[in-house]
């Protein structure tokens, strides 16, 4: 809450009342079907209650009825802006339970796809964040670059948005012969475009005035709530699942973990969370270049089991999705369908912090703070 | 055929039926309610971005349903959301049209069997004009759906009430 | 960095009268079983003890077991400073499911517990705001993720099955 908030000093001469305002499920800036119930004192927000569940698609019930390979397309549709990350997490959890070791080529391709997906997801986050604040042009620029990434995905597996590509034990298709050349071309074109978006939006005086010192998240609150990903790193702590709880072959690459430093305001404000995402895109480019150089040969489908019947037991595995740390908790009872699958979605956990972050700011700042947390309703409601 | 394909003879006078004029005006500037539910909404956003531009057909996203001509239901409709969509539909002024985009709003999509909270098709609640299949449909498919809607409007009659 | 057996030993030393068990015969991880009404005291100790420092709750999920007539809750905990992890499990009777809440210890457990209540019907004692979160507020057809759940025919005039 800001120091000079009106909630701290109330005048007793005039009788005032609180007003409840509904930012309903249909709203241009709520990033999906989310209902926010704001309790206002004039223009200042005193409480925010989010209501979710408008996109609850019963993913966990479907998992209990489908076989293990059939669940992969459903995991795509949870966080529909980063489907490769979802599939990756599920594959890693199942391979841990089954004890399968995939060939090296598969590991490299999975990392390349996950990092390309991180770039595409952050582009949407930045584009829509600018559009919420009122800057429409960066939205169009970000989507042009995103189309190039989607073209790369399309020549690999045939789909633009929801891929069904990373299977348990391998991949569905090998890379197209032109993939490596086209990806290197994309990265060469992307770096100057990233600099252009930075000049347009990140260091723009109006954008800084709207986002700096707004929605400050202290580190202890963040860890107690379980916030992860760029939201946590924006508060200044270097916590990344790829380093802390390593999975796949991330230990072979040389990349940096960007954190928020409070350049234009306090550490942990909305500008920091936004800028961490911009810097992460650059780091993803580095990882992709290194992976493409070291890419070995091999067969991507050799380790895929014919019939998946894991032993009785349970597993919890997590990956670093663009929105935070995505965890899968799978309980198996020895048959071809899981007994229980629980997905720990990063946006579900990050939404709970919204009330703490918005206290004492104005209604227009609620949009800024919500955009900086970068939620996806498909993941929250599953 | 375009309304303005007719020849101008005496100065700037074109003679045509009133129906054609109204239909042409309606289909050339369809304004949509910016309403996206799930994954199909991302393809809808990609359709309105610069690669597959929506604006060249006259489609502008409007935040309020009272300013809009049509609504694209893109994404899974849940039981909790269906009552709100009905209210949005009733707030739109006539003439209004609905495009159901994606498999989930056509018939329940991949969640048809075990989805206890999924409405199996938006046409159980509001009347749909055009169904665009796909999961998610490509932007080109959505554009084709829009063109089919334009053809439907072109063949509308002022006297006969639509179904 | 402590192993599951060491953590179990520390807990047993500090809570001698509680009924704690360690189960590590199944693949991938050991589970620590704890009584449902004392989980809040145990969690507070786990978070504040200087040897353990479990400051982050990764996941909280409900599980239905109709054969044993139990409803269970699994907690996955992690320490960001000491880098170790543990899994806890509590089980309650299916007809009267009551578990103490851990929202005082980790605020992030709030919505996870509401979801477990919504989908399984597990009541969390002393929860600040226990109501449905994903299903509509007036859903009266039961708890969907239980194994014996049946779909209602109609909800507010809309047909639910295909």
Q: Domain map of chain C by residue range? A: 4-159
- C63 and A239 within 8 Å at the Cβ level: the answer is no
* pLDDT at residue B3, as a whole number: 60
How many structural domains are present in chain A?
A: 1
Q: Do B80 and C144 touch (CB under 8 A)?
A: no
Interchain contact C160–B (C-beta under 8 A): yes
Predicted confidence (pLDDT) per residue in B32-64, tens digit: 887 888 888 889 888 888 888 888 999 988 888
pLDDT (tens digit, 9 = 90+) per residue, A207-254? 999 988 888 889 888 988 889 899 999 898 888 888 888 888 888 898
pLDDT at A191: 92
Q: Testing the interface with A: which of C134, C142, C148, C149 to mutate, by most A Cβ within 10 A?
A: C134
Residue A9 lies in a domain: no
Question: Which positions ≥6 away from C67 have C-beta within 8 Å?
Answer: none
Nearest chain B alpha carbon to C150:
B116
**Binding partners of A (≥3 Cβ pairs within 8 A):** B, C
Question: How much is the mean pLDDT over chain A?
Answer: 88
Does A367 map to a domain? no
Q: Which residues contact A90 (CB under 8 A, 6 or more apart)?
A: A71, A72, A75, A166, A168, A328
pLDDT at A12: 64
Q: Which residues pair with B31 in a beta bridge?
A: B60
Please report the pLDDT score of residue A6 as a whole number: 58
Residue A105 sits in a domain whose CATH number is 1.10.645.10
pLDDT at A4: 60
**Per-residue pLDDT band at C14 (split at 50, 70, 90):** confident
For the ranges A2-16, A254-268, A352-366, the lowest mean pLDDT is seen at A2-16
Mean pLDDT of chain B: 86
The residue among B106, B112, B116, B122 with the most chain C CBs within 10 A of its CB, best to mutate, is B116
Q: What are B's interface residues with C at a Cβ cutoff of 8 A? A: 79-80, 82-83, 108, 112-113, 116-117, 119-120, 124-125
What is the ipTM metric for this complex? 0.92
Angle formed by the axes of helices A270-293 and A104-133, nearest 10°: 150
Per-residue pLDDT at B155 exceeds 90: no
Q: Is residue A368 in a domain? A: no
- Find the closest chain A residue to B47 by CA distance: A143
Give domain status of residue A197, yes or no. yes
Architecture of domain C4-159: 2-Layer Sandwich (3.30)
Domain that holds residue A158: 59-357
* CA-based nearest residue to B20, from B163, B158, B162: B158
Q: Is residue A42 part of a domain?
A: no
DSSP A201: I
CB contact under 8 A, A77 and B33: no
Give the residue among C109, C79, C88 at the shortest CA–CA distance from C39. C88
What is the average pLDDT across A75-88?
91
């Amino acid at each position: 809450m800001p120091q000079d908030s009106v909630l701290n000093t109330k005048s007793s001469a005039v009788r005032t009342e609180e007003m409840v305002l509904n930012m309903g499920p249909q709203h241009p800036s709520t990033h999906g079907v989310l209902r926010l119930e704001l309790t206002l004192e004039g223009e200042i927000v005193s409480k925010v209650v989010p209501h979710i569940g408008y996109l609850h698609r019963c993913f966990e019930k479907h998992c209990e009825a489908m076989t293990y390979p059939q669940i992969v397309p459903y995991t795509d549709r949870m966080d529909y802006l980063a489907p490769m990350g979802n599939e990756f997490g599920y594959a890693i959890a199942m391979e841990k339970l089954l004890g399968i070791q995939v060939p090296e080529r598969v590991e490299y391709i999975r990392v390349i796809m996950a990092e390309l997906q991180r770039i595409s997801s952050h582009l949407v986050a930045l584009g829509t964040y600018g559009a919420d604040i009122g800057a429409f042009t960066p939205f169009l620029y970000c989507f042009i670059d995103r189309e190039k990434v989607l073209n790369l995905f399309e020549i690999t597996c045939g789909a633009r948005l929801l891929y069904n590509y990373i299977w348990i034990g391998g991949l569905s298709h090998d890379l197209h012969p032109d993939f490596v050349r086209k990806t290197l071309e994309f990265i060469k074109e992307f770096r100057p475009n990233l600099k252009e978006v930075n000049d347009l939006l990140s260091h723009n005086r109006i954008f800084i005035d709207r986002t700096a010192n707004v929605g400050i998240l202290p580190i202890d609150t963040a860890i107690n709530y379980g916030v992860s990903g760029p939201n946590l790193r924006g508060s200044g702590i270097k916590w990344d699942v790829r380093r802390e709880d390593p999975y796949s072959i991330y230990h072979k690459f040389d990349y940096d973990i960007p954190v928020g430093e409070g350049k234009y305001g306090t550490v942990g404000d909305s500008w920091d969370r936004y800028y961490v995402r911009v810097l992460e895109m650059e780091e993803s480019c580095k990882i992709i270049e290194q992976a493409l150089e070291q890419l070995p040969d091999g067969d991507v489908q050799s380790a895929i089991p014919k019939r998946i019947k894991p032993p009785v037991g349970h597993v919890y595995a997590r990956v670093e999705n663009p929105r935070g740390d995505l965890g899968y908790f799978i309980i198996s009872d020895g048959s071809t369908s899981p007994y229980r699958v629980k997905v720990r979605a990063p946006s579900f956990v990050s939404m709970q912090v919204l009330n703490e972050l918005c206290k004492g700011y104005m209604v227009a700042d609620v949009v800024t703070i919500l955009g900086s947390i970068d939620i996806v309703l498909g993941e929250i409601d599953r | 055929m375009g309304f303005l394909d007719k020849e101008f003879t005496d100065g700037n006078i074109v003679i045509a039926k009133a129906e054609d004029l109204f239909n042409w005006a309606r289909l050339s500037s369809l304004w949509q309610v910016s309403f996206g539910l799930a994954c199909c909404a991302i393809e809808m956003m990609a359709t309105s971005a610069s690669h597959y531009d929506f604006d060249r057909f006259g489609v502008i996203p409007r935040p309020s349903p009272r300013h809009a001509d049509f609504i694209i239901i893109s994404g899974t409709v849940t039981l909790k959301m269906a009552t709100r969509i009905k209210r949005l539909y009733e707030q739109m002024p006539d003439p209004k049209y609905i495009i159901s985009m994606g498999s989930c709003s056509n018939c329940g999509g991949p969640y048809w069997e075990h989805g206890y909270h999924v409405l199996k098709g938006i046409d159980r609640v509001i009347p749909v004009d055009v169904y665009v299949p796909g999961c998610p449909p490509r932007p080109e498919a959505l554009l084709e759906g829009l063109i089919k809607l334009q053809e439907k409007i072109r063949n509308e009659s002022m006297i006969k009430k639509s179904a | 960095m402590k192993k599951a057996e060491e953590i179990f030993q520390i807990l047993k030393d500090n809570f001698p009268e509680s009924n704690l068990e360690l189960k590590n015969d199944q693949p991938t991880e050991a589970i620590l079983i704890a009584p449902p009404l004392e989980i809040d005291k145990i969690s507070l100790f786990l978070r504040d003890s200087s040897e353990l420092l479990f400051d982050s709750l990764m996941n909280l999920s409900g599980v239905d077991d109709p054969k044993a007539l139990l409803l269970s809750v699994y907690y996955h905990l992690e320490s960001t400073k000491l880098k170790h992890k543990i899994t806890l499990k509590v089980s309650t009777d299916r007809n009267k499911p009551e578990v103490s809440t851990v929202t005082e210890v980790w605020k992030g457990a709030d919505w996870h517990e509401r979801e477990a209540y919504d989908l399984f019907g597990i009541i969390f004692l002393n929860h600040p705001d226990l109501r449905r979160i994903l299903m509509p507020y007036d859903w009266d057809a039961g708890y969907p993720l239980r194994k014996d759940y049946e779909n209602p025919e109609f909800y507010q005039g809309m047909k639910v099955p295909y």
